[in-house]
Amino acid sequence: MQTVLAWYDAHARDLPWRRPGTTPWEVLVSEVMSQQTPVARVVPAWREWMRRWPGPTELARAPIAEVLRVWGRLGYPRRALRLIECARSVVEQHDGVLPDDLDALLALPGVGEYTAGAVLAFAHGRRALVLDTNVRRVLARAVAGQALPAPSLNRTERERALHLLPDDDSTAAHWSVAVMELGALVCTAREPNCGVCPWEVSCAWLAAGRPADVHAGRRRTQAWRGTDRQARGLIMARLREVADGQPVEAGELKACAARAGLSGTGGAPDPDQPGRALTTLLTDGLIATDDDGATYRLP
């Protein structure tokens, strides 16, 4: 354990939300943004976001269109709407102060097991399970001797992680961030750099001769080109470009979305995809219409 902690102290990235004085709310926003987006893209968006809406009170009253613009290209924009809902709940139920209790955190919109654990560990220095994809991968390899963890988090993994978590709060929080950083920088999904890893001498996967991924057949691939997700992203990108509240004709948005089908590799484009992308964005509350679908705008 000490070698992993020492490695972190020597190699951790200087991320803005790790600096002293970062508030629990700032940590929460950084974690929500980082869950499905590379850190290099998160850092500028997080800075801009915190400059505009430093706490839940400011975000709770922010115009949704402006929030979606600042969210920009982070992807999965429903996360931005969930952050607004979360901010409103914090304001209404906790006087604008993010709670520091696990159950109260889990009751907030968009806050799951991982985010709640990250806030407790990284903002409050407490002993909490923090199991993101990086931590899961490191523990699967180093402890369980598997190339990659199972597609979904299971009880064995939780127990394994809990067993390794140091007893005292500050060492546990240090350990959680260290293992996460190790997964981000060294024990990466595609090319683990075992030669510089502090776990090299006792890593179970390495000792077993780096066996193949036993869950490979059950893993969903994260394709993007040609998908509805790409089509939705193209519509959102067009709407972010126009001035506040300005509508864009459905035909123009469908033409934008159709570029996704043309870029795909799975044969002829799906003619229903552009319309489907518009409908699902509307259902998700990410776009709005004032004339029954003739034009659309950001909400």
For ligand SF4, which is the closer residue by CB, 119 or 140? 140
Identified binder of ligand SF4 from the candidate list 27, 128, 180, 187, rule CB under 6 A: 187
* Binding status of residue 161 toward ligand SF4 by CB under 6 A: no
Give the interface segment with ligand SF4, choosing from 58-66, 92-100, 167-175, 186-194 (CB under 6 A).
Answer: 186-194
Residue 282 and residue 186: Cα distance in Å, rounded? 41
Q: What contacts 252, CB < 8 A, 6 or more positions away?
A: 238
Paired tokens of 90: 């914090």
Identified binder of ligand SF4 from the candidate list 56, 74, 87, 141, rule CB under 6 A: 141
Ramachandran quadrant class, 253 (left: phi over 0; alpha: psi -120 to 50; beta: rest): alpha
CB of 143 to ligand SF4, least distance (A): 9
Residue 144 and residue 88: Cα distance in Å, rounded? 41
- Residues recorded for the chain: 299
Quick note: the x/- pattern for ligand SF4 over 192-211, rule CB under 6 A, is x-x--x-xx--x-xx-----
For ligand SF4, which is the closer residue by CB, 57 or 188? 188
User: CA 116 → CA 54, 186, 196, 259, 278, distances in Å?
Assistant: 19, 25, 31, 38, 32
Identified binder of ligand SF4 from the candidate list 33, 42, 130, 138, rule CB under 6 A: 138
- Annotated catalytic, 31? yes
- CA proximity to 66, closest of 78, 83, 49, 89: 49
For ligand SF4, which is the closer residue by CB, 85 or 200? 200
CB of 199 to ligand SF4, least distance (A): 4
- By annotation, the residues acting in catalysis are 31
